[in-house]
Amino acid sequence: MRMLINVPETVVADGLRGLAAAHPDLTVDVENRVIVRRDAPVAGQVALVSGGGSGHEPLHGGFVGPGMLSAACPGEVFTSPVPDQMARAAAAVDSGAGVLFIVKNYTGDVLNFDMAAELAEDEGVQVAKVLVNDDVAVTDSLYTAGRRGTGATLFVEKIAGAAAAEGQPLERVESIGRQVNENSRSFGVALSACTTPAKGSPTFELPDGELELGIGIHGEPGRERRPMMTSGEIADFAVNAIVEDMPPRNPVLALVNGMGATPLLELYGFNAEVQRALRERGVAVARTLVGNYVTSLDMAGASVTLCQADEELLRLWDAPVKTPALRWGM
Amino acid sequence: MRMLINVPETVVADGLRGLAAAHPDLTVDVENRVIVRRDAPVAGQVALVSGGGSGHEPLHGGFVGPGMLSAACPGEVFTSPVPDQMARAAAAVDSGAGVLFIVKNYTGDVLNFDMAAELAEDEGVQVAKVLVNDDVAVTDSLYTAGRRGTGATLFVEKIAGAAAAEGQPLERVESIGRQVNENSRSFGVALSACTTPAKGSPTFELPDGELELGIGIHGEPGRERRPMMTSGEIADFAVNAIVEDMPPRNPVLALVNGMGATPLLELYGFNAEVQRALRERGVAVARTLVGNYVTSLDMAGASVTLCQADEELLRLWDAPVKTPALRWGM
């Protein structure tokens, strides 16, 4: 167990204390586990609230700030937050313009956000929801009925967040969020398992020299296991899986995402192969983001997310954002 | 060997191709291994050139752009770039206002930047140099005579880059860079070794349950090896090592830097302990940056860098920057 922690029980709280210390623009309620942009509620703007298990940082807390999320609710590692967190967040950020919940499609998250919506609505907060389910690798898994929500979460949060920042109404922010999810597909591979602090040993056994194709972000099983492949072969496999599911209309936003432990040098090299694979299939790329954004603790590996983006989605993608993990134009 | 690569021989070139594809603001000469901001040379501004072995990404290529480096020269993994790269970079970015070389204190880098300076001066480029040697862990090592250059490189490149962007003259940009280095100290720990693509096996053996204190960024030996410590104990050890070497004058810039494979959740938790350790020693923190900035491939671990910053250095730190890895205000 090679972890930079105190004890497993305080990993999430310690992380929140450290987030608060580094980012004075955020208000972090460590006890209740709610991260809120300091200037919330923002008059006239729809508020965005997301959350999910910890261990995927910078998702979601690193995406809180102007132009993206209003609040995030971290659960225990790989465990859904509880409804009270999201209800508390909604109350803190609602300006009267309503709140959009952005929910990754895992059974616990879906149930708990549903309960939170009821709680918030009982308090007079208007709530809409976008479910993110972009992972083409598997339908149904250890944690999900239907497709899992992975990398597209970043696109939904950024683009819906930009629409909210422009003062667009709740139904419009919701429909943009849904459109982004429907236009997005992801595929990931693991070169190693990850180790949760509580368990202290890898979530599954992946022998050296093998990789798992179609992995999720919790160490749940993928689509198939194979002997190690080159970066180029992996890029072809991932891009094929995506474009077979969603035949390309141009152009796309591309996220080449690290699972946590793969060096940035390798991620950029993988991006070169993803771009080649897309070029060979006639898919034009409008924007590319490379880095560790939707992670799985110390898992080695990467995922590819593509989002078909029209002019309006591109414009919203390019709009200013100011969060710990994604920042431009401010 | 769990690497997302094609073959070890093309890792650096593949990474450069991927960098170019993701960042249209950069001009990347893959063959000659020079990364240049697209709008260089910028009239009236001193240009900053850095470089070093690959495997530390985003350092240095991820720091090229307005407000920071004008160009970066990546060598092979953990191997100095050759003088021709830096001379070529200097010629590409010099506006006539001169070029500042920012050199981490490793024997190969120092020699090769010296030769590059001669080459550039022969071509009529005025060159100044700042040597970065902030690591308090060891004097002399496998790669160094004197102290190693590690996390302070980011502070020197950002702050001197801001001074250059304001149009300050070469001697002033150089003296600011030197001041930042002299005001900075670092200390790092490894929870695992790293694996270079060429070698394919860990650079040293670190048994599970042990950590190496005072590690560099190349898997070279540290100060001592101990049984695993808590995040809080590590923070105390690192902060002690730094403040014993540089008694605190307030306030400091703090970089809590991941070595590559440590999850961001753990890094933020470590930051909480670093902030506590500083508070207990009466050190005020003006700004904190948490993330993977000066890495060592897939090494697990973290480093702490503190820079004593007066009002002027803080102002330059806060100035706008637009690079792949560090961006604000633009």
Question: How far apart are the C-alpha atoms of A129 and A141, rounded to whole Å?
Answer: 22
Q: Is residue A235 part of a domain?
A: yes
Taken in order B60, B64, B69, B72, the sign of the CA dihedral is: positive
| pLDDT (tens digit per residue) in B97-121 | 999 999 999 999 999 999 999 999 9
Question: How far apart are the C-alpha atoms of B188 and B128, rounded to whole Å?
Answer: 29
- Which A residues 37-76 touch B at CB under 8 Å? 54-55, 57-58, 62
| pLDDT (tens digit per residue) in B230-252 | 999 999 999 999 999 999 787 99
Domain end position, chosen among B161, B182, B203: B182
Active site members of B: 56, 218
Kindly state whether residues B157 and B293 are assigned to the same domain: no
Kindly state whether residues A165 and A192 are assigned to the same domain: no
Q: Is residue B326 part of a domain?
A: no
Kindly state whether residues B16 and B163 are assigned to the same domain: yes
Q: Is residue B213 part of a domain?
A: yes
Q: Is residue B123 part of a domain?
A: yes
Which chain A residues touch B2 with a CB distance below 8 Å? Answer: 191-192, 208, 211, 300
The reported pLDDT for the residue numbered A146 is 86
Q: How many domains does chain A have?
A: 2
CB contact under 8 A, A18 and B230: no
Question: How far apart are the C-alpha atoms of A311 and B319, rounded to whole Å?
Answer: 32
Picking from A63, A265, A323 by the largest number of B CB atoms within 10 A of its own CB, the best residue to mutate is A265
Q: Choosing from A218, A234, A255, A323, which is the catalytic residue?
A: A218
Side-chain half-sphere CA neighbours of B168 within 13 A? 19
Kindly state whether residues B210 and B226 are assigned to the same domain: yes
Q: Is residue A327 part of a domain?
A: no
| CB B178, CB B129: distance < 8 Å | no
Kindly state whether residues B213 and B96 are assigned to the same domain: no
For chain A, residues with pLDDT lower than 50 are none
Here the CATH number for the domain that contains residue A99 is 3.40.50.10440
Taken in order B250, A20, B159, A292, the sign of the CA dihedral is: positive
Query: Domain range for residue B75?
Result: 8-182
Q: Is residue A193 part of a domain?
A: yes
Question: How far apart are the C-alpha atoms of B40 and B42, rounded to whole Å?
Answer: 5
The reported pLDDT for the residue numbered B274 is 98
- Model confidence at B218, in pLDDT bands (50, 70, 90)? confident
Domain end position, chosen among A182, A201, A233: A182
Q: How far is residue B47 CA from its own chain's centroid?
A: 17
Q: Is B212 touching A (CB cutoff 8 A)?
A: no
The reported pLDDT for the residue numbered A1 is 59
The H or E element containing residue A34 is: strand A34-37
Name the closest residue on chain A to residue B323, using Cα atoms: A328
| CB A153, CB A104: distance < 8 Å | yes
Kindly state whether residues A252 and A286 are assigned to the same domain: yes
Task: For residue A74, give the amino acid letter.
Answer: P
The reported pLDDT for the residue numbered B144 is 74
Kindly state whether residues B229 and B153 are assigned to the same domain: no
Kindly state whether residues A290 and A234 are assigned to the same domain: yes
Domain end position, chosen among B153, B182, B211: B182
Q: What are φ and ψ of residue A236, in 5° steps?
A: -60, -45
User: Taking Cα atoms as reference points, which of A148, A137, A46, A155 lies closest to residue A107?
Assistant: A148
Average pLDDT for B5-10: 97
Kindly state whether residues A71 and A112 are assigned to the same domain: yes
The CA–CA distances, whole Å, from B256 to A73, B173, B275 equal 24, 25, 10
CB contact under 8 A, B58 and A264: yes
- Which A residues 221-280 touch B at CB under 8 Å? 228, 230-232, 234, 256, 260-273, 275
Q: Is residue A200 part of a domain?
A: yes
Q: For residue B269, give the 3-state DSSP assignment.
A: helix
The reported pLDDT for the residue numbered B128 is 98
CB contact under 8 A, A11 and B54: no
Residue B139 to chain A, least CA–CA distance (Å): 26
* Averaged confidence pLDDT in chain B: 95
Question: Is ipTM beyond 0.95?
Answer: yes
Average pLDDT for B297-321: 97
Q: Is residue B233 part of a domain?
A: yes
Pairing of strands B252-258, B224-227: unpaired
User: Taking Cα atoms as reference points, which of A282, A233, A281, A275 lies closest to residue A256?
Assistant: A275
Q: Is B202 touching A (CB cutoff 8 A)?
A: no
CB contact under 8 A, A263 and B329: no
Q: What is the DSSP string of A125-173?
A: --EEEEEE--B-S-SS-SS-SSPPP-THHHHHHHHHHHHHHTT--HHHH
User: Taking Cα atoms as reference points, which of B255, B153, B302 lies closest to residue A3?
Assistant: B302
Question: How far apart are the C-alpha atoms of A214 and A202, rounded to whole Å?
Answer: 18
Adjacent-strand bridge partners of B34 = B29
Name the closest residue on chain A to residue B288, using Cα atoms: A22
Question: How far apart are the C-alpha atoms of B179 and A159, rounded to whole Å?
Answer: 42
The reported pLDDT for the residue numbered B1 is 59
| CB A149, CB A113: distance < 8 Å | no
The reported pLDDT for the residue numbered A188 is 96
Kindly state whether residues B147 and B273 are assigned to the same domain: no
**Higher-pLDDT residue of B221, B242:** B242
Kindly state whether residues B211 and B250 are assigned to the same domain: yes
Here the CATH number for the domain that contains residue A194 is 3.30.1180.20
Kindly state whether residues B163 and B216 are assigned to the same domain: no
